[in-house]
Amino acid sequence: MKNKTSGGVIELAKTLLYAVIIAVVIRTVLYEPFNIPSGSMEPTLLVGDYLFVSKFSYGYSRYSLPLGYLFPSFGRILFFHEPERGDVIVFMFPRNPSEHYIKRLIGLPGDKIQVIEGTLYINDVATKRVRDGMDLDSGPRERWIETLPNGVQHPILLRPREYPTPPARCDRENGDSGDAENTCPFKVPPGHYFMMGDNRDNSDDSRVATSGVGMVPAENLVGRAEIIFFSTNGDARWWEVWNWPFTIRWERLLKVIR
């Protein structure tokens, strides 16, 4: 009886070990779940969205591994694939590589990026946008559909602007001045990317000098956000099981992220 019991415990331990190994492999190589804690990507992503990120989209660096910031750099990215402008990307925060950020890729290496009066300019050409109504849950904010140079269309939120705002002062000797809606021109260096949130007036991103995002190195890219597998508005406490079905945003389940 004792040997039989010991054998059962060993088999259970092996099964659990195999399950852990499989989970780690899937998380490292294929897909990893993330949740959205802030509103910087509204209206594309909402607080309480849970999504899968494809780890193979851009190749593998040390940040593909669990606790990857504790490991030395590989020196290069394995199976690297260039991201596309407009991708929604999870990346490691350059100032603190233990934190994940999620933004939209706006600027590719070599691009010139500038925001003037809230309008995004890429290589001195204003991006096209069409007004798409108001978003009353966010402030209120005006909702626009922005079209990037490669044809990718996505929604953005902007604060209504009744009066012109002061232009940025761009003086390399005495220091630049500006804000998220009026920036100095940025030149994206090789191997780096310029990220912005879709909630343009409520996003710490590559436009904001104090944000710590800056130009994101290719090594910091974790993966592309693919699909929302769950979403909740957070109105129910964890023990209020009877309210759970009413807090789920059913219309967002299995929504592809664009």
Q: Token digits for 195? A: 């990220």
Q: Which of 40, 57, 64, 203 is catalytic?
A: 40
Phi-psi region of 239 (alpha: psi -120 to 50; beta: other; left: phi over 0): alpha
Separation between Cα atoms, residue 125 and residue 105, nearest integer Å: 17
Residues 6+ apart with CB under 8 A from 83: 57, 58, 89, 105, 193, 221, 224
Instruction: Please indicate whether residue 112 is annotated as part of the active site.
Output: no
Residues 6+ apart with CB under 8 A from 240: none
* Host H or E run for residue 21: helix 2-25
Q: Which of 55, 57, 64, 103 is catalytic?
A: 103
Instruction: Please indicate whether residue 206 is annotated as part of the active site.
Output: no
Handedness of CA 84, 89, 93, 97 (dihedral sign): negative
Active site residues: 40, 103
